[in-house]
Structure 1
C-alpha cells in the first residue's frame, strides 16, 4: 500500500505568468486566440544559451519549472525523475514526419527524430542535473500526470529516503491542432481566455501548453507545502458521483470534510455538465474552484491544478477569479479534492492535504 508523499517545492510554466515571484492568479492575462502558446520565462536563468538553442519547448519548460521547484525546496540534486506527457515533444515529431514526407525518406536530419520521443524532457532534466537514478515517463492521454504521480507514490514507498522530481509537460504542435480543429475539439470564433463557464459555455476547448514540476519525498520538512494522500483514475465512468464517493470512502473521509474542490471546467459545453451535476449534488455545500478557464486545456494540465491547490495551502487564500460559487471558505484550508476529466474520458481524483 502506498503512503502519502510531501511536496517541498513547485514550479509552473503556463499561459499565465505563474513563473513570476509572488504571482497567484490575482490578475489574469487575457487571450483571444486558439491555440495559445505558453509564456516564455527567462530560460537563460537556468539554461546556458548554447544548450538552449538546441532544446525544444518541452525541454525548456520542463527544465525551467523543475529548477524553480528545486530552488524553492532548497536542493540541488534529486534521486529520481518521474514525468507524465500526453503528446511528448510534439513539434519535433511533426517536423520529422514532415521531412520524411517531403524528402521521401532521404537526407533526413536525425535531430528531430532523436528529440521527438516522449521521454526527451525527462532525459534533458537528468542530463542537466547529473541524475543517474530512476527515470520514467508515463504516456496515458489526459491521465499521464496522474500515472506519474501514482508511480512516484510507489517509488517513495519503496525508497523512503529518496527525494524526487515529479512533473507533467506538454507542448503545442502546428499540424496536430489543425487536426483537433477538424475533429471539432477546439473553440473557434468565441475562443477567449478567461473562458466563459457554465451558462455561457460553448462547444470546444482552448488548447494550450505548459509544464509543472514538484519536489517530493515521503517525509515532511521545513518547506513542505502539503501532502498528496491519494490518486485514482478511470478511463470511463458511468456515474462520476459514485466514482468520487467510492474514492473518498476508500480513503476514510466524507465529502463534507473537504474544505474545497477544484473542478476541471474548461468551457466546453459538451462535457462541463459533468462538473455542473457534481456541483449541485456531491459538492453543493463546498467552495468550488476552476482553473482550466485561465490556463487552458492540455493532457497534463491537472499538474497545474495541484500547483494551485498547494498555493492555496501556502497562502490560505483562494483567488476570487477562480471561485465558481459563493460557499463560505473555511478560515483554515486543510483538505482539497481535485477532479478532472477530458472529453468525457480519463477521469481522475487527487486528494491533497495541508
Structure 2
C-alpha cells in the first residue's frame, strides 16, 4: 500500500476569493450567469508584468496557486511538478484553430499554438521556479487531478526525501462552451452561484474554472495541513454506495470512521442522484458538505475540494453555506471527498488531519 503524503501548503484560484488569507466560505460571491470565470487575484504578486502579458489564463492561475502553496509551506521551489487538467489551455487552443481556419494555414502566430498544449501550465510553473526535475501533466477528463495525485504518491514513494507541487487547473473557452450548450450540458433555468440545492433541481451544470496546487512530501512536519491517505477512481460506477463501501473496506474503515463527506452536487438532476443515494444510505447521519454549488463545475474542481477540506481541518467547523444536511461534526479528523461528472469519472480522496 502506498504511504500517505502530507500537504504543507496550498493555493487556490476559483470563482470565490479563495486566494485571500483566512478565507473560509462564510461570505460568497454571487453570480447569475453561466459560465462563471475565476475571480482573479493580483497576478503581479508572483508574475512579472511583461511575462504576465504573454500568459494565458491557465498559466496565470496555475502559477499563482503554486506560488501561494509554496509560500504557505515556507519553500522557494519544489523537486517536481505534477498537474492534472481536463481541457488544458483551452482558450489558446481555440484561438489557434480559429486562426488556422481563417488564414487557411498561412501567416499564423505561433504563440497560441505553443501555449495550446495541455502541459503548458505545469511547464510554466517549472520555468517560473527554475525546477528542472520531474514534470508531468495528466489529462483524464474529470479524473485528471486524481491521476496527478496518484502519481505524486508514487513519485514520493520512490523519492521520499523530496517535495512536489501537485495540482489541477482548467479554464473556460468560448467555442467549447457553445458546444457544451448544444450538447445540453449547461443549465438555462435561472443559473446562479450559489446554486440553491434545496430548490427543485433542473438539467444542466454551471461551468466554472480554477486552479489549486499543493506542496506535498512524505515528511509529516509540525505545520502539515493534513495528509492524503488514499485516492481512487472508477470510470463507470453503477452504484456509488457500493463503490464507496468497497473503497472504505480496502482501507479497513467503515462509514462511522468518516467525520464528514464532501459531495459534488451541482444541481443537475440527471446525475445528482449518485450523491443522493450515498447521502441517504451509506453515509446517512454524517455531516455532508457541498462545494460545486459555490465553485461551479469543471474537470479539476476536485483539487479545490481538497483545498476546502484542508481549510476545514484548520477551522474545525463547517460554514452554513456549505452544509447540506445541518449536521455539524464534533471533530474533523477524517474527510472523504466524492465526485463524478455527468455520471462518469467517479473519484474518491480520503484526507486526514495529520
Kept in 2, the 8 Å contact 1:198–1:267? The answer is no
The question of 1:137 aligning with 2:133 is answered no
Kept in 1, the 8 Å contact 2:58–2:170? The answer is yes
Kept in 2, the 8 Å contact 1:2–1:153? The answer is yes
| Structure 1 residues 208-227: aligned runs within 5 Å | 208-227=208-227
Shift of 1:168: 0.1
Aligned residue for 2:23?
Answer: 23
Shift of 1:2: 1.3
State the distance in 2 between where 1:52 and 1:288 align.
Answer: 39
State the distance in 2 between where 1:157 and 1:325 align.
Answer: 38
State the distance in 1 between where 2:297 and 2:120 align.
Answer: 22
| Structure 1 residues 42-121: aligned runs within 5 Å | 42-121=42-121
SS where residue 289 of structure 2 aligns?
strand
**How many residues matched?**
353
SS where residue 275 of structure 1 aligns?
helix
State the distance in 2 between where 1:235 and 1:277 align.
Answer: 18
Aligned residue for 2:306?
Answer: 306
Aligned residue for 2:263?
Answer: 263
Aligned residue for 1:349?
Answer: 348
Aligned residue for 2:182?
Answer: 182
Kept in 2, the 8 Å contact 1:209–1:297? The answer is yes
Aligned residue for 1:228?
Answer: 228
Question: Taking structure 1 as the reference length, what is the TM-score of the superposition?
Answer: 0.99
Tell me the alpha carbon deviations over residues 320-347 of structure 1, each in whole angstroms, 9 at most, x when there is no partner.
11000023411x2100000000000000
Aligned residue for 2:317?
Answer: 317
Kept in 2, the 8 Å contact 1:234–1:347? The answer is yes
State the distance in 2 between where 1:328 and 1:135 align.
Answer: 40
Shift of 1:199: 4.4
SS where residue 118 of structure 1 aligns?
coil
Kept in 2, the 8 Å contact 1:197–1:267? The answer is yes
Shift of 1:290: 0.2
State the distance in 2 between where 1:277 and 1:193 align.
Answer: 24
Aligned residue for 1:154?
Answer: 154
SS where residue 200 of structure 1 aligns?
coil
Shift of 1:198: 4.8
Aligned residue for 2:285?
Answer: 285
SS where residue 321 of structure 2 aligns?
helix
Aligned residue for 2:334?
Answer: 335
Tell me the alpha carbon deviations over residues 201-247 of structure 1, each in whole angstroms, 9 at most, x when there is no partner.
11100011000000000111122010000000011011111110000
Structure 1 unaligned blocks of 5 or more: none
State the distance in 2 between where 1:16 and 1:309 align.
Answer: 15
Kept in 2, the 8 Å contact 1:198–1:276? The answer is no
Tell me the alpha carbon deviations over residues 160-202 of structure 1, each in whole angstroms, 9 at most, x when there is no partner.
0010000000000000000000000001141100012154211
Kept in 1, the 8 Å contact 2:11–2:214? The answer is yes
State the distance in 2 between where 1:225 and 1:43 align.
Answer: 24
